[in-house]
Structure 1
Amino acid sequence: MPRKYKSTEAYLKPDVRYNSRMVSKFINNIMKDGKKSVAERIFYNAMDIVEKKITDVPPLDVFTTAINNLKPIMEVRSRRIGGANYQIPMEVPKKRQLSLAMRWLLQAARSKKGRPMSEKLADEIIAAYKKEGAAIKYRENVHKMAEANKAFSHFNW
């Protein structure tokens, strides 16, 4: 049975320093246990580090380019057809592209050990900006899976 009303997306205020909704969304993703001030401190410290390491480009541009480099174009979805499960390559919607890119960036930064989170995050942002690093590997793996299962793309409807 379909929903009565289409769900509305919650309004997200742009962040204080960069006036960007994407940054605000990313800060919310960093946040654990509702500690937004800690998440903001981590992100802004990371951006300060990015600014020191890459001087010729504004840090917000580095961040947006890094996120755009991480966005997946295709992914595989499981579909059961005739008693067998097939991994079917499908295009990723824009909203999911953004959320996956942010999730992978954070996952890659959190997986590194032994340094403050802001440093790890800054390193991962710079690596994604240069199209290298662990987060880019996640994207490449998803694209490889989609490429490998191209034969099942006719099941996509």
Structure 2
Amino acid sequence: MRRRRPEKREILPDPVYGDLIVAKFINNLMKQGKKSLAEKIFYQSIDKIKKQGKVDDGIELFKKALENVAPVLEVKSKRIGGATYQVPIEISEARRMALAMRWIIGYSKSRKGQTMADRLAAELLAAANNDGSAVKKKEDTHRMAEANKA
């Protein structure tokens, strides 16, 4: 185990919108160090959302989708006297955003569609409208936490 917690790495805001959350999302989307490809996919999906005419500002929709997917509670296994209990705990803001990003990207990949940009755009639109697989995952997580309140 580590002796101490490593210091947080400073990430630079993304070049187009100048936003740290967008930069973090792009970093999560990146595979095998191909950041330019991840940026291309993200910006294309935001453009697709804008072209559909549903919203003027794609980044506002992106942030709304993240907020709709971000969980407030989760369950953690705790061993008490030989029995393992699922204990609901509140999640920090950083973990909420990290989980929301991970879920949106994960469910975008498993969606049926042509390109990753199309699938990401579809998942972001669904999440902003409070439906889609990522929102369902959040509701399941909350349901588990509610069921295990003691």
Give the TM bin, normalised by the shorter chain: over 0.9
Superposition map of 1:8-157 within 5 A: 8-151=7-150
2:65 partner letter: A
1:80 is paired with a residue whose SS is strand
Match of 1:155 in 2: none
1:150 is paired with a residue whose SS is coil
Match of 1:154 in 2: none
1:33 is paired with a residue whose SS is coil
* Aligned-pair CA distance for 1:57: 3.6
2:33 is paired with a residue whose SS is coil
Coordinate RMSD, CA, aligned: 1.5
1:141 partner letter: D
- Matched-pair identity in %: 45
Distance 1:92 1:54 in 2: 35
Contact 2:72 2:96 in 1 (8 A): yes
Distance 1:34 1:88 in 2: 36
* Aligned-pair CA distance for 1:60: 0.6
* Aligned-pair CA distance for 1:30: 0.5
Contact 2:113 2:119 in 1 (8 A): no
Q: Deviations over 1:11-33 (max 9, x none)?
A: 11100111101000000001001
Distance 1:65 1:8 in 2: 29
* Aligned-pair CA distance for 1:114: 4.1
2:63 partner letter: T
Distance 1:53 1:85 in 2: 49
Q: Deviations over 1:107-144 (max 9, x none)?
A: 11001134200000000001010010001011001000
2:68 partner letter: N
**How high is the TM-score relative to the length of structure 1?**
0.90
2:117 partner letter: S
State how many pairs are aligned: 150
